[in-house]
Each structure stands twice: as C-alpha cells, then as structure tokens.
Structure 1
Amino acid sequence: MAELQRALGFDYGTRQIGVAVGQTLTGSAEPLTNLRARDGIPDWDEIGALIKEWRPQVLIVGLPLNMDGTESAMSIRAEKFARRLHGRFQLPVHTVDERLSTFAAKQSLRDNGQSPQSYRDNPVDSLAAALLLETWLADPHKETP
C-alpha cells in the first residue's frame, strides 16, 4: 500500500494566493483559505502556520503557463514562489500545469448559482488551488516540464 501523503496546494497570484489541502489516499482536495499578497509576496508567517497546522509532506504550486504551453510572466513568478517555499520550509515542492484552473473554479461557482460579483466573497483562488492540487494528486509522478 502506498504511503499516505498530505499536500498543500497553492494558486499563486500577485494579490492573493489560494491554498488547498489534499491527500493521496483519496486523491481529493478541499479549499482552505485565500492569503493576501503584496506584489506577489505573501505573509510567510501565515504560510508557516498553515504548514504547522496541516503538516504536509509535499507542497504543490500551480504554474500558469500560456495556452501553447510556454512560460508566462506569472509562471516565472510562480516558479520563484515555489523555490522560496522549498527554501523556507525544506519540503519537496512540485509544480503542476494550472491552465484554466481559475476559469474552472469560476465555472464551478456559477454552476452553484453564484454570480461573478460574489467572487470577492468566495474562495475562487482556494477553489482553483484545490483543482490544481487534485490534478497533481491524480498523477503525483508527473512533473510540469
């Protein structure tokens, strides 16, 4: 039987970073919270508190690639965020292609009868983090090129 791993997923953004938690046993993830960021820089103490609380064995960061699979300015920033996570918390960090995860999160909220105006009050980013984390959980050995 494979070892149970708990993972935290991050949907990186310059103003907000969505966070989700999931685990390999069920391959499912759930939204946790949205963290504020200032020009892409989070409150590292908040992230540290989440890591202490949830004790993940691995961290997953969404990589917002262009639709053709090439790097974008945001994917470069997300990779930098991933390196900083690893450096600060000494946990394995993997990236996963997150193209359309925010779109899928907004569609999920629309499907549940929530309007675009209500997104400010809803966890779009943490829901996107859950979706990208589930993508990684479905195939944890696949690494984004």
Structure 2
Amino acid sequence: MHSPETVFGFDFGIKRIGVAMGNTMIGQASPLAVVSSVGNDARFAEIKALIDQWGPTRIVVGLPFHPDGAEHEMTARCRRFANQLHGRFNLPVVLVDERYSSAMIQAKRGEIIDDRAAAIILQQYFDEYVPQ
C-alpha cells in the first residue's frame, strides 16, 4: 500500500485557473482556489503560495479536446501549462481528459466555477487512476 499523497488539480484558462485539492487516501477532490492574477509571474507566484501551503506531491491538469477527440488551441496551451508546472515545481504532472467536465457544472450567470471544474478533473483522476 502506498502512502497517502496530497494532489492538486488544475483547470487552466486564459483569464483564470481553477485549483482543487484532494488526497489519495480518501480519493475525494474539493475546490480550493481560483488564480486570477494577470501575467505569468503573478499567476505562478499565486500557485507557488498554494503549493508551499498545502505541499502536494503530484499535480493533475485537465486537457481539453473537441467532442470527437481532436485537439484544439487550448489543448496545446494546457500542455504548455503542465510542462511549466513540472519545470517550476519539480512535481510529477498527470494530464487528464477534461472533455466533459464543464458540462457537469451548472453555473449561474456570472458565477466563477473554475475551482469546481478543477475538482471534477481531479475527481476523475482519483476515480480512474488511483486504486481504492
């Protein structure tokens, strides 16, 4: 049996990045924060503060595709973001297909849901990749 790990999940967006956290022992993801700083340095400073506070040992990033599985512009941006997370924080990064995660959230007009989308992505990781 493996030791429990704290895991962060990210829903990358151009304006905001949703962050969720959970651990492999419970296998339950929870919304944590929305990073909305302008500029890469400020965004990564916010992410670093969260990583320093919670100490995740693994990162999960949602990877968007078209419904037919084809990649699009955001797919490449998310891969780049995942590579930057790995390079900056030296943590293993797992990419998870987030194709249908947005459809699972019913948001009210103007409501920021990025952290909940990140929780759905992280929960998908727990459900599919972490043995219970």
Residue 137 (structure 1) aligned to one of 103, 114, 126? 126
Quick one: percent identity of the two aligned structures?
40
1:89 and 2:85 are equivalent in the alignment: no
TM-score under structure 2 length normalisation: 0.90
Q: Deviations over 1:92-126 (max 9, x none)?
A: 01100011212212x2x5xxxxxx22514xxx110
Whether contact under 8 Å (1:14, 1:38) holds in the other structure is: no
Match of 2:36, SS state, is strand
Cα RMSD for the two superposed structures = 1.6
- Could you list the structure 1 runs, at least 4 aligned residues long, displaced by more than 6 angstroms after superposition: none
Amino acid at match of 1:88: R
Gaps of 5+ in 1: 110-115
Distance 1:118 1:74 in 2: 22
TM-score under structure 1 length normalisation: 0.82
1:76 and 2:76 are equivalent in the alignment: yes
Aligned residues: 129
Gaps of 5+ in 2: none
Match of 1:88, SS state, is helix
Match of 1:130, SS state, is helix
Distance 1:118 1:38 in 2: 19
- Alpha-carbon offset, residue 70 of structure 1: 1.6
Distance 1:66 1:119 in 2: 24
Whether contact under 8 Å (1:17, 1:37) holds in the other structure is: no
Q: Which residue is 1:112 aligned to?
A: none
